[in-house]
Amino acid sequence: MTKKPKTKSHEVPTPAPNETATAQNTFCGPHRKLPPVKALADEDVPLLDRLLHATMGRVYGLSPAALGLTYADWLTHLALAPGKQAELAGSATDKMTRLADFILRQSYGSQPMECCAEPLPQDRRFVDPGWNEWPFNLYQQGFLLTERWWQEATNVRGMSQHHAAVRPFIARQILDMWSPLNFPLTNPRIMKAAAEQGGLNFLRGAQNLMDDWQRLVAKQPAAGMEAYEVGENIAVTPGKVVYQNRLIELIQYAPATSDVYAEPLLIVPAWIMKYYILDLSPENSLVKYLVDQGHTVFMISWKNPGSEDRDLGNRDYRELGIMDALEAINAIVPKQKIHAVGYCLGGTLLSIAAAAMARDGDDRLKSVTLFAAQVDFEEAGELLMFIDESQLAWLEDTMWEKGYLDRRKMTGTFQLLRSRDLFWSHMIENYLLGERTPPNDMMAWNSDATRMPFEMHSEYLRELFLNNDLAEGHFRVGGRPVALTDIRVPIFAVGTQRDHVAPWRSVYKINLLTDTDVTFLLTSGGHNAGIVSEPGHPHRTYQVATLNSLEKFVSPQEWCDRTPSLEGSWWPEWNAWLTRQSDGKSKPPATGAPGKGYSGLRDAPGEYVLMK
């Protein structure tokens, strides 16, 4: 019995004689209706267009053309759907009638009074008891009914799949902006605070707003972040930088046990984040946990790129990053294979490198672990709403001016995905209630964003997100396509339940695209908090099961339904899996290998992580 057949793509189909050179570089089989879109060369883009887009992009990160096309698609199909219009008119009438009845019964003081619309169970916006009092219950009910109507209005038959996903997102952004929670006179919690404090909450809020503005202009950390300093109370696991090139520092952490497992670990974080998400405070540091369990841990710390790094692309990140790190580890811990670990896009890059190594007969990897990492981007979640040809052209012109994507642009994108939690609630707490939430180490890390070089960011958005080249067998390394089916070492893949960056069902597709034993683990939490899930962390659960290469494929929902849920952190589960993949223990290796050119350059966390 075998899994569902995978796609292998070592051989490029021979093109017909009349096919163009461009077509020869793509797969044009029946499974792809159109060839992947190629970016225009710099010389083919008018300079005036680039300058206009770059100037507008400084203040507006989304492509107006992309938004206009979405609106036109929706409006055109709605205009040609009189039946849908009639349904919406009837729904609007029904909702207005229910709201009018609610107001009438409220004026009579009848009790108990049934609401027109109840918030969804996961909607925590209206939990304050004040929303049950007049007139705030009227604002709440009117807003919820409006939300429900727009959910119906944005669901119009015939729209393109991409626009059909974007339209509700845009509607949600607009509705969230006009939510009664955001205005003092319509939010009972703000009114209560103003009455109890004599309006001092607004004075403190104004002070907070001015403080935040000054910090933004001066490019200083957000309020309270000064309590966390890299190398002082976060990212403090002892270690040495044993190798450096123009793109990475390689950190080797000091052993904490008298003997260690024979095979070392190499961790490849995403280049869009600082590595110390995995080495926060000592009590929740994954690096410290691994070292304490007897593992020899190496960590890649990516350089924060500047304008001079604009031409660094996927090849550079693979070769200067993963492959150079492997060479260094081979010199420091000779004759041992390596457990490779990739987080987020670092896991995607590791998958590419592992597939290329397997194709070329390079067997230095002992196992591969992927944290919230996708290899198939067809269902890459809400991020796909920002990925189409129009948006990529706009983004490329925005990056073209400086040679990199400013970290604030990436932060703004992720805030849009969760604007209700990350933006509007922040505004209410800080500026209307005048309350500062003390930051934690995760928040300090989250504010320490990185830049992305023009070439790399453009390549991975176009080749992975837009064209899905890796999953479809079109991604090339060294001029030849790579196939994930070539990976034969065991894989441990971790997905998180509330991941808006790498949805767990998308991460689960590693089972479809490889021909090896895959242990899949689903943990509670989001993209970052689910991974940073140290033992003792309250309310953590996980599910785990192994699908070997000879078993039939199991759908994500079936897997979830039949796999038991376990309490606690998933870290010990992964450590036990690593232990089973290891070949015993030995004395800890020396730090670096000075005789081979890998001496201790400086103490961890190194210099690259400190670059702003």
Does residue 283 contact residue 459 with C-beta atoms inside 8 Å?
A: no
- What 3-state class would DSSP assign to 226? helix
Write the DSSP symbol of residue 330.
Answer: H
Does residue 404 contact residue 309 with C-beta atoms inside 8 Å?
A: yes
Query: What is the DSSP secondary-structure string of 268-294?
Result: E--TTS-GGGGS-SGGG-HHHHHHHTT
Residue 28 annotated to the active site: no
Return the number of other C-beta atoms located less than 10 Å from residue 593's C-beta: 20
Cα–Cα distance, 251 to 298 (Å, whole number): 5
- Closest alpha carbon to 517 in 580, 583, 570: 580
> Which member of 28, 115, 116, 344 is catalytic?
344
- Closest alpha carbon to 168 in 152, 182, 157: 152
Cα–Cα distance, 464 to 371 (Å, whole number): 18
Q: Where do we find the tokens 């292998």?
A: 8
Cα–Cα distance, 497 to 542 (Å, whole number): 9
Contact residues for 119 (Cβ-Cβ < 8 A; gap 6+): 125, 126, 144
> Is cis: bond before 112, omega within 30 of 0?
yes
Contact residues for 596 (Cβ-Cβ < 8 A; gap 6+): 331, 332
Does residue 368 contact residue 394 with C-beta atoms inside 8 Å?
A: no
Q: Where do we find the tokens 């893949």?
A: 493
- Closest alpha carbon to 181 in 419, 491, 478: 419
* H/E segment holding residue 239: strand 239-244
Phi and psi, residue 299, nearest 5°: -130, 135
- What 3-state class would DSSP assign to 365? strand
Here the tokens at position 550 are 């000879």
Cα–Cα distance, 606 to 249 (Å, whole number): 7
- What 3-state class would DSSP assign to 371? strand
- What 3-state class would DSSP assign to 132? helix
Query: What is the DSSP secondary-structure string of 467-498?
Result: T-HHHHT--EETTEE--GGG--S-EEEEEETT
- Which residues are designated catalytic? 344
